[in-house]
Amino acid sequence: MHAEKEFFIISTIMDNSLPPFKVFSGTNSQYMAEEICKSLGVELGKMNIQHFADGEFEVSFEESIRGCEVYLVQSTFPNTDNLMELLLMIDAAKRASAKSIIAVMPYFGWARQDRKDKPRVSIAAKLVADLLMTAGVNRVITMDLHADQIQGFFNVPVDHLYASSVFIPYIQSLNLDNMVIATPDVGGAKRANSYAKYLDLPLVLCHKQRAKANVVAKMTVIGDVKDKNVILIDDMCDTAGTIVKAASLMMENGAKSVRALCSHAIMSDPATDRVNESPLTEMIFTNSIPYRKHCDKCTIISVAKLFADTIRRVHDNESISSQYLIK
């Protein structure tokens, strides 16, 4: 009897029935998590988020994650509930004895506040990084940060992916002649220049002056766009004011067509109306943020496979550098 009991204990210890990693999702990023899981060939983990009358909510894992590598898929786009959900998910995973906790954040919000550009302001990107690490995250996987240096705000590994992995094949599939790459502001010159160098195309810059946040006072084109098919590159589109103004200016300067590629479709009102009424031929986004409004000019490209491949490589301790076409 004693021997049988000992055999049962050894068998239980050696039982590897639990998957090597599990993927869970917050409320508003479930569409992305489901695509990632489909690409990985695993089931999305069971999680419950209970909301209270006063707006608070409680996060609980509905299956054991003890000793598991846990991937939590959640973009922190507006509103702040998405960030709070992610923090509670990380805390719950830590308290449930997860082996490691990886935050998969296709869109890293609050990133525009990455430095002190005037006196007495916060650096929200650093604060969010501190919150994630305090909650207990062991690694972050994200895409097209507003500024590359945000990676340095973390004391844990950050895998910074680039939407160029899906955008460049799309640009090439258009088969347009006389293309130029453009940036709607000087701040995005490095990003746009990477596309221009990879595709061996000219680079055009827009210089803008803001009256205040989200309001462009004046814009100037630096470079030749006459009879060109222009591809505008940016990391995010919020109110679409800058993109639409840049597209209008390009057309006024003789451009044949203007398309815009933006990694993150924030698209705060009245962005959709502005794009619909603009001279833009097409607006291309990734699905890092759910865009549920109707816009005939918008094309959405999925980055779920990019994140799924990265998760697999991180889990298998493989290099992810092959994921990058350009940086």
Axis-axis angle for helices 81-95, 124-135 (nearest 10): 30
Half-sphere exposure (Cβ direction) of 27: Cα atoms closer than 13 Å: 19
208 is catalytic: yes
Whether 178 and 201 have beta carbons less than 8 Å apart is answered as no
Nearest-CA neighbor of 88 among 110, 60, 125?
60
Whether 37 and 304 have beta carbons less than 8 Å apart is answered as no
- Alpha helices by DSSP H, listed for the chain, are 2-14, 30-40, 81-95, 124-135, 164-174, 189-199, 241-252, 271-277, 304-315
Q: Distance between CA atoms of 147 and 104, rounded to whole angstroms?
A: 18
Give, in order, the Cα–Cα distances in Å from 102 to each of 31, 177, 268: 18, 43, 29
Whether 203 and 233 have beta carbons less than 8 Å apart is answered as no
Q: Distance between CA atoms of 322 and 312, rounded to whole angstroms?
A: 13
Nearest-CA neighbor of 36 among 77, 72, 79?
72
Catalytic residue among 46, 94, 208, 218, which?
A: 208
Q: Catalytic amino acids?
A: 208
